[in-house]
């Protein structure tokens, strides 16, 4: 499925690969624990978050930005796993030599959602964003480059990979909700979303 640069690869990861990736994420969260970010206006986000790579996305009273260290521990983020770099090579369609230096780890549980937004804090907006879904199915919403553009919904299941490239790189998108109990992959339930991107120059 491809729509204006949005490309969905259903079942890109088989069940055993999904389990391996969850184990990698779980181990990393021991060093860079999940935390609940606050928007610049002081509102807590409904997702919990951490990161892999040289840079991690953070939000607080100082605004949205990328930082080289975890806001709670002050330590560098865990290194980007080889497994994620292999997925980038296989599916991102990035220009030669363009590698991700950031991977956001978002945990959705219960009523967690992500409102329509665009990923615009990166230095190079021509590089794609690659998303990996693990666990419960997400009802994903994709729009255009204007907030008023029509949107469509796509269900993202565990093991799916999607890419926002081309015109879709700057499109509004979000997660309306997850479908609790649609997967047993994540201990304690929920959905883990991993989004790889090139954040730095």
Across the strands, what pairs with 114? 175
Domain count, the chain: 1
Host domain of residue 172: 2-197
What CATH number is attached to the domain comprising 120? Answer: 2.60.120.590
Q: Which residue has the tokens 């990996």?
A: 132
What is the pTM (predicted TM-score) of this model? 0.96
Across the strands, what pairs with 141? 153, 174
Q: Which residue has the tokens 């009273």?
A: 61
Q: Are 116 and 150 in contact (CB under 8 A)?
A: no
pLDDT tens readout for residues 140-169: 999 999 999 999 999 999 999 999 999 999
Q: Are 130 and 103 in contact (CB under 8 A)?
A: no
pLDDT tens readout for residues 27-70: 999 999 999 999 999 999 999 999 999 999 999 999 999 999 99
**What distance in Å separates the CA atoms of residue 1 and residue 12, rounded to the nearest whole number?**
13
Residue 25's Cβ-count burial label (10 Å; 0-12, 13-18, 19+) is: buried
Backbone angles phi, psi at 82, to 5 degrees: -55, -35
């Amino acid at each position: 499925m491809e729509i204006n640069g949005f490309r969905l690869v259903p079942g890109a990861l088989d069940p055993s690969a999904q389990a391996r990736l969850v184990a990698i994420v779980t181990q990393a969260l021991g060093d860079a624990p999940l935390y609940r970010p606050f928007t610049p206006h002081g509102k807590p986000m409904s997702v919990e978050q951490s990161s892999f790579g040289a840079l991690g996305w953070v939000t607080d009273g100082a605004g949205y930005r990328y930082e080289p260290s975890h806001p709670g521990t002050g330590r560098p983020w865990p290194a980007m796993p080889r497994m994620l770099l292999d997925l980038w090579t296989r599916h991102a369609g990035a220009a030669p030599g363009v590698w991700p230096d950031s991977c956001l780890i978002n945990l959705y549980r219960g009523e967690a959602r992500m409102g329509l937004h665009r990923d615009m804090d990166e230095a190079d907006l021509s590089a794609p964003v690659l998303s990996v879904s693990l666990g419960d199915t997400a009802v994903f919403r994709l729009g255009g480059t204007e907030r008023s553009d029509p949107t469509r919904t796509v269900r993202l299941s565990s093991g799916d990979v999607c890419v926002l490239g081309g015109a879709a790189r700057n499109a509004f998108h979000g997660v309306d909700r997850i479908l609790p109990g649609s997967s047993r992959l994540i201990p304690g339930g929920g959905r883990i979303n991993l989004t790889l991107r090139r954040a730095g120059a």
